[in-house]
Structure 1
Amino acid sequence: MTTQAKNVDEYIAELRSQIETNPQCASHHYNLGVAYLHKRMWQEAEKAFREAVDNSPRMAEAYVQLGGICLQRGDIDGCLNMNKIAKDCRPQFAVPFANLGFCYLQKGDVDRAIVYLKKAVNRDPDYVQALSTLGSAYIMDKQFDEAEAQLRKALDLAPSFGPAWNNLCLLELERGDKAKAREHADKARENGFAVADEIMKELGAEQA
């Protein structure tokens, strides 16, 4: 939609005015939710996304956003449930599959995480975050060659993606190559990723 708003607050006011005129427009509610997320107004965002799915029950993107809000407050199971609904609404949408994989990884269910992350990558081979998370899952599963393959794919697509460099660092630590691990840690930090203090200590370095 076109907008005359000069900032997020004006955009929110504009959307709320449009919703008053057309309260059943799921897109307006969804866009309002996204605007609230920019302001970190979690409760308002959740209400807007719920209004979106009330008016458009198969709006997968809104369920994904609701899952993200669950994750923000530490509710992994809530995030899982929302992304399950999202992938059922749009079976070819890669994002909920990647989110399910991430959640299962957080819960320690590595096998199930790999299944969902592979499904995400099959749907979108250029999905950098999914490739990096799949690499992390393979590290946890001790499939080191597979892990490196996925992480290299991620970095071929996005050379400045810090989390993938960090995962390569973790991979080389698992392999016992601290020199390579340090190189990858430095690349992660150069690209804005805060490598964990315990990893830097293991590498014999300190955070800047």
Structure 2
Amino acid sequence: MEQFDNIDEYIADLKGKLEVNPTCGNTHYNLGVAYLTRRDFVEAEREFLDAVAHSPRMAEGYVQLGGIALQRDDMESCLNYNVQATQQRPFFAVPWGNIGFVYMQLGEHDKAHKALKKALKLDPEFAQAQATMSTLLITMGDYEEADKILKVLLERQPNFGPAWNNKAIIDAHNGDWADAAVCIRKAEESGFEVLEDFKKEVEENNK
């Protein structure tokens, strides 16, 4: 996209390519990504559907469709698309991480744990899966194991907001209120929106 002045020029170029070769899955995929940049989810979804129709083994296309389904809070479609991605590329960590996230949202903790373990076995440095796993472990009451994961993650990615938020939750659980306040500040500096009720609880306990 470097040679284009803006996203509209890039989209126009890709559309021109599709006029010449309408069955190119990669071009449909790139056009879908371009529409996502513009937050045009309807057009993006159409292009990703065309991408996987013409290139059925394109796991990334299914992952993108799953992401759009998640935007609509359509957990079932999100899950199904990511399962399709794993069927095309079993050793692709991203869909396994997404499957774990969806199962966690649905309260299926054992299935979530299994999928996230698979994601992290395939890619031990997959930050989003590490953060999701820490959230799951907190939900299951295993604060110690969650803390271990977060320490590793934050050493490598010190600006990862969701991890700082989870670290704050663990510190609060352990009664380390001053540390929790520091973690909240770091989460917010990283652009993460911390729940107001939790912030107030930490503030009250630091008075």
| TM-score > 0.5 by shorter chain | yes
Deviation of the 1:143 alpha carbon: 1.1
Q: Using a 3 Å threshold, how does the CA distance of structure 1 residues 31 and 22 change in structure 2: closer, same or farther?
A: same
1:5 positional shift: 2.0
Cα distance in 1, alignment partners of residues 62 and 148 from structure 2: 31
Moved more, 113-122 or 30-39: 113-122
Aligned to 1:171: 170
The residue type paired with residue 4 of structure 2 is A
Q: TM-score, normalised by structure 2?
A: 0.95
Aligned counterpart, 2:90: 91
- Measure how far apart 1:3 and its partner are: 6.3
Q: How big is each residue's C-alpha offset from its partner over 1:31-62, in whole Å with a ceiling of 9 and x where there is no partner?
A: 00000001111110000000000001110000
> SS state of the match for residue 56, structure 2?
coil
Q: Is the 8 A contact 1:129 1:154 kept in 2?
A: no
Residue number in structure 2 paired with 1:136:
135
Q: How does 1:22-171 map to 2 (within 5 A)?
A: 22-171=21-170
Distance, in Å, in 2 between the alignment partners of 1:101 and 1:137 is 9
SS at match of 1:58: coil
Return 5+ residue gaps in structure 1 as ranges.
none
Which segments of 5 or more consecutive residues in structure 2 lack a partner in the other structure? none
Deviations along 1:120-150, one digit per CA (max 9) or x if unpaired, are 1111111111111111111111111110111
Amino acid at match of 1:127: F
**How many equivalent residue pairs?**
204
In the alignment, the residues of structure 2 paired with residue 18 and residue 37 of structure 1 have an alpha-carbon distance, to the nearest angstrom, of 19
**In the aligned structure 1, how far is the partner of 2:110 from the partner of 2:9?**
46
How far is the alpha carbon of 1:15 from its aligned partner? 0.2
Q: In structure 2, how many angstroms separate the alpha carbons of the residues matched to 1:167 and 1:3?
A: 37
Quote the RMSD (CA, aligned, Å): 1.3
Identity of aligned residues (%): 48
Counterparts of 2:72 and 2:63 in 1: how far apart (Å)? 15
CA contact (8 A) 1:15 1:28 kept: yes
Q: Could you tell me how far apart the structure 1 residues matched to 2:44 and 2:76 are?
A: 19
In the alignment, residue 123 of structure 1 is paired with which amino acid?
Answer: L
Task: Provide, for residues 168-188 of structure 1, a one-character-per-residue CA deviation record: whole Å limited to 9, x for no partner.
Answer: 111222233322222211111
Q: Secondary structure at the match of 2:197?
A: helix
Structure 1 distance, partners of 2:143, 2:89, is 32
Distance 1:183 1:3, change over 3 A: closer
Asked if the contact 1:173/1:181 (under 8 Å) is kept, the reply is yes
Name which of structure 1's ranges 62-71 and 136-145 shifts more when overlaid on structure 2: 136-145
Structure 2 residue identity aligned to 1:194: E
Normalised to the residue count of structure 1, the TM-score between the two structures is 0.94
